Amino acid sequence: MKILFDIKHPAQLNLFKGLSSELQAENWEVTICYLQRGKLPRIIQREYAGFKTIAVGSSRGTKWSILWDGNVKRTLTFLDLIKKEHYNICVAASSIPLALAGKIAGVPVIQFYDDPERKRINYVNASLSTQLFFPPIVKKNGKVSVFNCLKEWSYLSPKRFRPNDGIPGFYGLAPHEYVFVREVSNKSFNYYNQQDGIISSFANRIHPSAKVVLSLEDKSYANRYPAHWTILQEPVNDIHSLIYYSKMVLSSGDSMAREGAMLGVPSVYCGIRKMKANELMMQAGLLKHLPADSGLDYINEMITRDFDSEQQTHTRNQLLERWDDMTAFMKEQINRYKI
C-alpha cells in the first residue's frame, strides 16, 4: 500500500509524524510532501529522516505566490505525482491542491482539520475530498465527520509524548522558571490581517525579571524584543519538552497556544483570530484569548506565581480520559481504504 501525506505549514508538521512511522513499520510505502516555505523544508528533513520526502510547490509570502506557486502549480505537480506513483490514498490537513489532484486522478483523499471558520476553503475541500474530519466543533454531514479531540493531541497525548526533563538545562534554564513566547509571521494566509509582530509591541512591558525563550518565525524582527530574551534557532531540539517545562506560554499564533494548553501550561493566545478550536480549550479553562496587549496584567501576574505541577498532571490526565487517541483514529480511517 502506498500513501502520500501533504504538509504545508509548520503547525501540521507533527500531526502525521507518529502515524507515518506506524504505517511505515507496517510496510506501507510512505511519501511526505511539503511546501517550500520558510524553515519548513529544513525541519522536514530533520523530523522525517528515513522517509521519502518531496518538495511540492512554494510560497514566498505574497498573495500571488500563495495563489500561483502554492496552489495552481502544486495541483499540477500533485496530479503528475499521483499518476506516476499510483498512491492508494492521500492524506492532508486542508490541502485543496491535493484534494483536486486526487479527485481528477480518482484516488481517495481524506483530511483532518480544525478550522471551520475557513468556510469557503472547507466547502471546496469537502466537495473535492473523500472525507473531511473535524474536532467536535462542527455538525456532521455526508462529507464531514468528527474526531473527539483536537488534532495536536496526536502528538501531545501522554500516550504519545514523554517530556525530556533535560531540555531546559540544555538552554541554561530551570524547569517552570521561564516563559515560552511564540511570535508568528503575518505573511502566511492565516495571519494576513493580523498586526505585524503583536508581541513585540508590548514585549518591553512584560515583567523584566522574566526569563523568556522566544520562538520567532521571522528572524528579521529580532531587534524588536528585549535583549535579555533568548531567541531560539530552528530546528529546535524537542520544542514540546521546552514548552512542557515552561511556566507559561504566550503566543500570537493559535496552534502553539493550544499546544501549551494541552501540555498543562497556562497559555495565552494574543492573536486576533476567533476560533472554535480555541473556544473548546477556553471553555475547559485551559486557554485564555487576550488579544494584543490586553492580557499584559494577567501575563505579569502569572510570571510572579509558582508553577502548579500537580495541576499540570491533572489537566493532562483529564484530557487523556476524555479524548480520542488521534493517531489511532487516523489510522483507522486510512485502513478503510486498504485494498
Per-residue model confidence as pLDDT tens digits over 286-326: 999 999 999 999 999 999 999 999 999 999 999 999 999 99
Query: Do 311 and 177 belong together in one domain?
Result: yes
Give yes or no: residues 174 and 72 share one domain.
no
Where in the sequence is the domain holding 177, given as residue range(s)?
167-322
Q: Is 218 part of a structural domain of the chain? A: yes
| Entry pTM | 0.89
- So what's the pLDDT on residue 194? 55
Q: 151 pLDDT band (50/70/90 cuts)?
A: very high
Closest listed residue to residue 244, CA positions, set 317, 162, 326? 162
Q: What is the pLDDT of residues 176-208, one digit of tens each?
A: 999 999 999 865 545 445 577 899 999 999 999
Let me know whether 259 and 329 are in one domain: no
Alpha carbon distance 45, 54 (integer Å): 10
In a domain, 162, yes or no: no
For the domain that residue 94 is a member of, what is the CATH number? 3.40.50.2000
Do 144 and 221 belong to one domain? no
Question: Cα angle at 203 between 200 and 209, to 5 degrees?
Answer: 155
Has residue 161 been placed in a domain?
no
On the question of pLDDT at 20 being above 80, the answer is yes
Same domain as 199, residue 69: no
Q: Are residues 149 and 273 in the same domain?
A: no
Residue listed under C-alpha cell 517530556: 163
Residue 186 has a pLDDT of 67
Measured between alpha carbons, how far is 93 from 115 in angstroms, rounded to an integer? 10
Q: Is 119 part of a structural domain of the chain? A: yes
For residue 35, is it within any domain? yes
Q: How many domains does the chain have?
A: 2
Distance CA 19, CA 97 (A): 22
The chain-wide mean pLDDT, for the chain, equals 92
Same domain, 283 and 178: yes
**310: part of which helix (H) or strand (E)?**
helix 309-322
How far apart are alpha carbons 321 and 339 in whole angstroms? 33
Over residues 205-245, the pLDDT tens digits come to 999 999 999 999 889 999 999 999 999 987 788 999 999 99
Statement to judge: residues 30 and 128 lie in one domain: yes
State pLDDT tens for residues 130-148: 999 999 999 888 899 999 9
- The verdict on 62 and 203 lying in the same domain is no
Mapped onto helix, strand or coil, the DSSP state of residue 267 is strand
**Residue 135 grid cell:** 474536532
Kindly state the average pLDDT of the residues 102-123.
93
| 206 shares a domain with 315 | yes
Which phi and psi angles does 311 have, rounded to 5°? -65, -35
Q: Are residues 151 and 185 in the same domain?
A: no
Lowest mean pLDDT among 154-163, 184-193, 269-278: 184-193
pLDDT in the model for residue 253: 92
176 inside domain: yes
Determine how β-strand 179-183 pairs with β-strand 144-146: unpaired
What mean pLDDT is predicted for residues 272-293? 93
Helix pair 254-262, 276-283: axis angle to 10 deg: 30
Same structural domain, 254 and 241: yes
